[in-house]
Amino acid sequence: MKKYEFWFVVGSQLLYGEEVLKTVAQRAEEMASLLSEKLPYPVVYKVTAKSSDEISDTIKEANYNDNCAGIITWCHTFSPSKMWINGLANLQKPWCHFATQYNREIPNEEIDMDFMNLNQAAHGDREHGFIGARLRSSRKIIAGYWKDEDVHERLGKWMRTAVGAAFSKEMRVMRFGDNMRDVAVTEGDKVEAQKKFGWQVNTWAVGDLVSEMSKVTESEIDALMEEYKASYDIATDNIDAIRYQAKEEIAMEKLMKREKCSAFSNTFQDLYGMEQLPGLASQHLMSKGYGYGGEGDWKVAALTSVMKVMGENANGSSAFMEDYTYHLVQGSEYSLGAHMLEVCPSLAEGKPRIETHHLGIGMNEKDPARLVFEGKAGPAIVASLIDMGGRFRLIVQDIECVKPIMEMPNLPVARVMWKAMPDLTTGLECWITAGGAHHTVLSYDVTAEQMHDWANMMDIEYVHISQDTTVESLEHDLLVSDLIWKLK
């Protein structure tokens, strides 16, 4: 990961004289330093903006600086917005307008016209807001006091999202083989994906992977086996199967590092020369931050990797997921999510077990080793990215994960159980109406608001299914949205 930072650009003007500008600069420095302590990425005070040239130069610099993941603006005094137009019109980085104020309270005794001239955020930020609206700029607006925890929480989430956008622009995806035959929803326009998201999606032959596997040494496998032993309980006597997964993991990671890829997809229909579908191998790679999509689903692979970066510590609890089956008992309705093998252990409650079982689907000569566990309880989201033809649509649904209500002792894969919002059947009708896929990214730490912001940064359609969604309102929104996106 790059050393990402955010630039703090504070609006003012020359009208008030040197003294005021000096105070503004000092305070901006103080605010940036506190925010840097509280937020996940540093805030660098860049300039007190007083002229069009100053703003244009700062924005040009921000566009070309790889470490700058976005700008945060705020107007301490009034800052006439026409001098912001030339700069903002060229801004290529995410923008947060932070509507705050240096002082928390109106000071009863101290307040006079000097105080009023210095502390003008209430009207300065409105002038600044107008130009954002007038330019139709994509921006995040966060209002609140700069020392408050809930404000730090929101700014932090926006920062993580902006880093997700920066990461996305450099992402490379390695496809082993093509998509599963005849499947529609895993298809998509890779040229459009690169234009919108920056994703470079390319294919490598499974033969390249098999050849790389043949070069993996026993001592490399021994070292990875130690990592497996430290992280997981080994609940099988079939050590050879685990060592084979280790060999697959080492080879895949070498290829991805060589090609600077951070996500990959494969398919059970194309494992030529391999004894097992990578299960444990893919799961352990995911825990290290690699995105994965089954059946050649490169869109979900890339989105998983981006959402991991947007989560806690830049490798959050986000993972490739698939809707598998329902529990339709009235009043106790649940969805069960899993996959053939490949569920990321970042979702696990407790220590995952390594097991080996027969896998009937695909070309497995041997029983593949995989991690088996239950998902954590807690609020989460599922996100699906689909290609509507001419545009991408991101669908996000709020869910509440629960401890699975039964043990399912014969289910040989990791599983997550949840309640969908607003309820299972309404949520399902909404999901199907919007065209959401069976493959999703499930995340415990990336919020729907972050995904909305990310969709705005990427300039794609966003659909949110929440506690308040009805099928009727959603149908109406999709109809309007379809018209708008055809015009865009």
Binding site for Mn ion (CB under 5 A): 294-295, 322
The smaller minimum CB distance to Mn ion, of residues 182 and 407, is found at 182
Bridge partners of 418? 335, 401
Q: Are 405 and 452 in contact (CB under 8 A)?
A: no
The smaller minimum CB distance to Mn ion, of residues 11 and 294, is found at 294
The smaller minimum CB distance to Mn ion, of residues 43 and 263, is found at 263
CB of 121 to Mn ion, least distance (A): 50
The smaller minimum CB distance to Mn ion, of residues 438 and 452, is found at 438
The smaller minimum CB distance to Mn ion, of residues 322 and 374, is found at 322
Tell me the residue nearest to Mn ion as measured from the CB: 294
The smaller minimum CB distance to Mn ion, of residues 212 and 322, is found at 322
Residue that has been written with the tokens 């100053």 in this structure: 54
CB of 71 to Mn ion, least distance (A): 40
Burial letters for 387-402: b for 16+ Cβ neighbours within 10 Å, e otherwise?
beeebbbbbbbbbebb
Largest CA distance in the chain: 82
Q: Which amino acid is at 378?
A: G
CB of 300 to Mn ion, least distance (A): 9
CB of 5 to Mn ion, least distance (A): 38
CB of 322 to Mn ion, least distance (A): 5
CB of 389 to Mn ion, least distance (A): 22
CB of 137 to Mn ion, least distance (A): 39
CB of 437 to Mn ion, least distance (A): 9
The smaller minimum CB distance to Mn ion, of residues 270 and 445, is found at 270
The smaller minimum CB distance to Mn ion, of residues 249 and 295, is found at 295
The smaller minimum CB distance to Mn ion, of residues 42 and 294, is found at 294
Structure tokens at 487: 């015009």
Q: What angle do CA 376, 381, 384 make, to 5 degrees?
A: 125
CB of 294 to Mn ion, least distance (A): 4
Q: Are 96 and 62 in contact (CB under 8 A)?
A: no
CB of 379 to Mn ion, least distance (A): 24
Residue that has been written with the tokens 């869910």 in this structure: 399
The smaller minimum CB distance to Mn ion, of residues 77 and 265, is found at 265
